[in-house]
Chains A and B, each alone.
Chain A
Amino acid sequence: MGAAVSGQTVWGQLEERFGRRQFLLKTGWAFFYLFLGGWLLSNLRYLFPNVLYEPTLSFKAGHPDEFPLGISEKWKKAQRVWVVRTAGGFYCFWARCTHLGCTPNWFEAEGRFKCPCHGSNFNKDGDVIAGPAPKPLWRCSVQLANDGQLVIDKARLENRPKLREQGDFFLPYQA
């Protein structure tokens, strides 16, 4: 094999160790399992697609002035997000319960998001106030594009208090 230079001695040692026939067999099985393992791994890799036919995670949501104060359900149908405008600016929730991924409903009168699956409740900040959800609602990154439109990117998420109210996750805006 690879030990051609000092072949004699290595070969001799291996022969001594296993016997020639056993050596051939064992190396053969070693390569076989190498091949089999590689094949299975490659098939596993095959199952992970390289292209997706999904809408892009980042989208332009229109001009900030189009949104009223409070929770806007404008983009819930197409992009599954709530755009929230406060006196200070914008943030955006991903409409996906942090418990098991259902889409919660917004109840204006109660000021709560309620998940129909297992009864998790979230307040306007996205914090859990009832039910089994383990963590606050995810917020998406909101930025202002060059043409003055909001750009929402669902690929970048944050839900930790403080961190979610700064940087890309909160867009200060005054009308």
Chain B
Amino acid sequence: MADKDASPAVLQWFKKSKLWKSIFRHDFSDTPRTRLQRVFGNVFLHLHPVRTPKDALKVTYTWGMGGLSFYVFLLLVVTGILLMFYYRPTTIHAFQDMKDLAYAVTLGGFLRNMHRWAAHLMVVVVILHMVRVFLTGAYKPPREYNWAVGVILLVLTLFLSYTGYLLPWDQLALWAVTVGAQMAANTPVIGNEGPFRLPFVTTSNDARFGLIGGTMVGDSTLIRFYVLHCVAVPFLFCVFLCVHLWRVRKDGFSKQTGEKVDVWPHLVSREFLAALLVTIILFVWSMALPAPLEGIANLNVTPNPSKAPWYFLGLQELLVYFDPWIAGVALPGLIVAGLMAIPYVDTNPKGIGVYPAMGWKRIGPLRLWHPTERPFAVTVFMLGVVLWFALIFIGYYCRGPNWEWYMPGELWSHRRVTKLTLKNLPNFWGALLMLCYFLEGTPMPKAIKARLAAARGPNAPARISAAFHMGLGVVMAIALLLPLTTAPDAEYPLRSRYTTLFEALGHAPNAPFMSWLYRTVEALGPALGTGLVVACILALGGALGFLGLKFATFKDRMYDELGPVKYSLVMGLFLMMMGVLGKLALRLLFGMKYLITFPALSFNI
């Protein structure tokens, strides 16, 4: 530093000693040489490159989220280690130790608050980091592998949160873990209650048993989750973290524009400031809000409503619409697999290191603000993120006692009696509906188009495509509405043409579309009513077909670009995501429970 001479003589002498020089290999003057030495001469900083492009430092580009997730992880490790000094993972002591931390340990309550809120913050930061990396195309070659490692780190973050959630041994903990563990029991094949259960799988040897170390959540679960939370998962996390950081260093940063500047001090100082800011935020947060702690865990009483932590509420909300093996096992598995697959199926080389340009597009009467670059990738990914947070919103703000729907701000009432009626679609129609839905993804490859055009004239491919999509749409509408509204037996007298299913759903408050249809049909009489049902089928079919048709040319182009394997992967995942939305709509508008159901196999969709 400039005023080196001003430091006391003793210090100057000490800085010349062998001891000092053996630890600090360079002096601290601000020269280009020492700037480099600081980074590569320091084990903590050497994960950074020595020099980096100036644009890569911009907060507007990185949001600082990668470095911050690492910092929050460090904070969690530090506070976690401290908390371990006062924690005993037994059902007798765990809850008492929480109370001790809050009431009898100096700064114990504050440290616990900080650990809890930092865990929440870490989930947010990691998700934002993922969104940022996606939007700037930073997962594209050569960084595909690192994206997959990042997804693993996201999963580990959530698993750390989940395992940590049990440790306070209060009602929140017990029930979040009970529900989470029950999902494991619904794993296909190896879960006691899952579909296609193997014959020898019972409650005392299935996946759930392995997860919680017993048939119910208790002492063995607590020690198991304790070890997972404090040792096993952090260890795995560190391994993947090393790989992740190492790959960032080796693959280079995604932003490569702008002149190169020294990482010390330009990047290091920014990281330091960001860490300070996050620490301030966590301090304020932990001072203002104590970490939640409910009554001691009690297997006989489930809180009403019993809500998972917010980051799992999307999952919990999905569990309302799907069987546990789908919502708790298959969908999360698909989400993770789908996220990991992104860099391998997205072959578009454009968009690395820049945010996608946005523009206005007119579709019919709508003006949409949409990405003009990588439109499909960005739209689908952001749709997924928004859908996930919409589910979280519903779970957090719109669910009250007995998991009933309340508007945000509406007063909860334990006296609300809403008898919900749900019906299944007959298997044949349900399977037909799903088949047609997935067939909507079928593209028309170039070669076939050419042959059709040659054989039947230049308009033939377009006409056939239109007929195909509209046909599928109408079949879907028939498969949905026909079995609901009319009995298969034509011999029935006219009045009872409408099935008991129709009647039941017509009276159900949770099937608004069906009750509207039922009431209108009742009012119109049999002849007009039948006409209305037909009109509804046509309208719905037309709408679904039109949607398919709208994207036909896009599908065809995508197929030609990606080839059959990648295309079916992308389209399959996309249709499944939209299918989740579709099932939500079927449940909320039509009062539909299952499309396909084989109770004997525990296989229901």
A/B touching: CB–CB < 8 A: yes
A residues near B (Cβ < 8 Å) are 18-19, 22, 42-43, 45-51
Extra 15 A-B pairs, beta carbons < 8 Å, given A45-B106, A46-B82? A43-B107, A45-B107, A46-B85, A46-B105, A46-B106, A46-B107, A46-B108, A46-B111, A49-B86, A49-B104, A49-B105, A50-B104, A50-B105, A50-B106, A51-B104
B494 at interface (Cβ–Cβ under 8 A)?
A: no
B100 at interface (Cβ–Cβ under 8 A)?
A: yes
Chain B residues 59-116 with CB under 8 Å of chain A are 82, 85-86, 100, 104-108, 111
The 8 closest A-B pairs by CB, nearest first: A51-B104, A45-B106, A46-B107, A50-B104, A46-B106, A42-B107, A43-B82, A47-B85
Flag if B104 contacts A42 (CB, 8 Å): no
Classify the secondary structure of B's interface with A: loop
Flag if B3 contacts A18 (CB, 8 Å): yes
By a CB distance below 8 angstroms, the chain A residues around B43 are: none
By a CB distance below 8 angstroms, the chain B residues around A22 are: 1-3
By a CB distance below 8 angstroms, the chain A residues around B1 are: 22
In this complex, which of B100, B105, B111 has the most chain A Cβ atoms within 10 angstroms of its Cβ? B105
By a CB distance below 8 angstroms, the chain B residues around A42 are: 106-107
By a CB distance below 8 angstroms, the chain A residues around B106 are: 42, 45-46, 48, 50
By a CB distance below 8 angstroms, the chain B residues around A19 are: 2
Task: Return B86 CB to nearest CB of chain A, in Å.
Answer: 8
| Interface bits B154-185 vs A (CB < 8 Å: 1, else 0) | 00000000000000000000000000000000
**Distance of A51 Cα from B107 Cα, bound (Å):** 14
- Can you name 8 A-B residue pairings with CB atoms under 8 Å? A19-B2, A42-B106, A42-B107, A43-B107, A46-B108, A49-B104, A51-B100, A51-B104
Closest to A50 in B: B104
Closest to A25 in B: B1
**Distance of A19 Cα from B2 Cα, bound (Å):** 10
Closest to A51 in B: B104
Task: Return A15 CB to nearest CB of chain B, in Å.
Answer: 13
Task: Return B75 CB to nearest CB of chain A, in Å.
Answer: 11
By a CB distance below 8 angstroms, the chain B residues around A48 are: 106
By a CB distance below 8 angstroms, the chain A residues around B104 are: 49-51
By a CB distance below 8 angstroms, the chain A residues around B82 are: 43, 46
Task: Return A138 CB to nearest CB of chain B, in Å.
Answer: 29
By a CB distance below 8 angstroms, the chain B residues around A47 are: 85
**Distance of A45 Cα from B106 Cα, bound (Å):** 7
By a CB distance below 8 angstroms, the chain B residues around A18 are: 3
In this complex, which of B2, B3, B106, B111 has the most chain A Cβ atoms within 10 angstroms of its Cβ? B106
By a CB distance below 8 angstroms, the chain A residues around B86 are: 49
**Distance of A114 Cα from B107 Cα, bound (Å):** 44
**Distance of A5 Cα from B100 Cα, bound (Å):** 47
**Distance of A46 Cα from B86 Cα, bound (Å):** 10
Task: Return B70 CB to nearest CB of chain A, in Å.
Answer: 19
**Distance of A106 Cα from B100 Cα, bound (Å):** 40
**Distance of A43 Cα from B75 Cα, bound (Å):** 13
By a CB distance below 8 angstroms, the chain B residues around A51 are: 100, 104
By a CB distance below 8 angstroms, the chain B residues around A50 are: 104-106
By a CB distance below 8 angstroms, the chain A residues around B111 are: 46
**Distance of A83 Cα from B319 Cα, bound (Å):** 68
**Distance of A43 Cα from B86 Cα, bound (Å):** 13
**Distance of A45 Cα from B107 Cα, bound (Å):** 9
**Distance of A14 Cα from B474 Cα, bound (Å):** 82
By a CB distance below 8 angstroms, the chain A residues around B107 are: 42-43, 45-46
**Distance of A47 Cα from B85 Cα, bound (Å):** 8
Closest to A44 in B: B106
Task: Return B82 CB to nearest CB of chain A, in Å.
Answer: 6
**Distance of A51 Cα from B102 Cα, bound (Å):** 13
Task: Return B74 CB to nearest CB of chain A, in Å.
Answer: 14
Task: Return A10 CB to nearest CB of chain B, in Å.
Answer: 19
Closest to B85 in A: A47
Task: Return A18 CB to nearest CB of chain B, in Å.
Answer: 7
**Distance of A18 Cα from B104 Cα, bound (Å):** 46
Task: Return B490 CB to nearest CB of chain A, in Å.
Answer: 79
| Interface bits B96-139 vs A (CB < 8 Å: 1, else 0) | 00001000111110010000000000000000000000000000
**Distance of A22 Cα from B104 Cα, bound (Å):** 43
**Distance of A50 Cα from B104 Cα, bound (Å):** 6
By a CB distance below 8 angstroms, the chain B residues around A45 are: 106-107
**Distance of A149 Cα from B375 Cα, bound (Å):** 88
Task: Return B271 CB to nearest CB of chain A, in Å.
Answer: 14
In this complex, which of A19, A45, A50 has the most chain B Cβ atoms within 10 angstroms of its Cβ? A50
**Distance of A43 Cα from B83 Cα, bound (Å):** 11
Task: Return A68 CB to nearest CB of chain B, in Å.
Answer: 41
**Distance of A164 Cα from B539 Cα, bound (Å):** 103
Closest to B96 in A: A53
| Interface bits B13-41 vs A (CB < 8 Å: 1, else 0) | 00000000000000000000000000000
Task: Return A13 CB to nearest CB of chain B, in Å.
Answer: 15
**Distance of A46 Cα from B109 Cα, bound (Å):** 11
**Distance of A42 Cα from B111 Cα, bound (Å):** 11
**Distance of A96 Cα from B2 Cα, bound (Å):** 60
Task: Return B170 CB to nearest CB of chain A, in Å.
Answer: 20
By a CB distance below 8 angstroms, the chain B residues around A46 are: 82, 85, 105-108, 111
By a CB distance below 8 angstroms, the chain A residues around B2 are: 19, 22
Closest to B78 in A: A43
By a CB distance below 8 angstroms, the chain B residues around A49 are: 86, 104-105
Closest to B2 in A: A22
Task: Return B278 CB to nearest CB of chain A, in Å.
Answer: 14
By a CB distance below 8 angstroms, the chain A residues around B85 are: 46-47
Chain B residues 270-284 with CB under 8 Å of chain A are none
Task: Return B402 CB to nearest CB of chain A, in Å.
Answer: 41
Task: Return A50 CB to nearest CB of chain B, in Å.
Answer: 5
By a CB distance below 8 angstroms, the chain A residues around B108 are: 46
**Distance of A50 Cα from B100 Cα, bound (Å):** 10
Task: Return B361 CB to nearest CB of chain A, in Å.
Answer: 49
**Distance of A18 Cα from B85 Cα, bound (Å):** 44
Closest to A32 in B: B276
Task: Return B107 CB to nearest CB of chain A, in Å.
Answer: 5
Closest to A42 in B: B107
**Distance of A11 Cα from B128 Cα, bound (Å):** 42
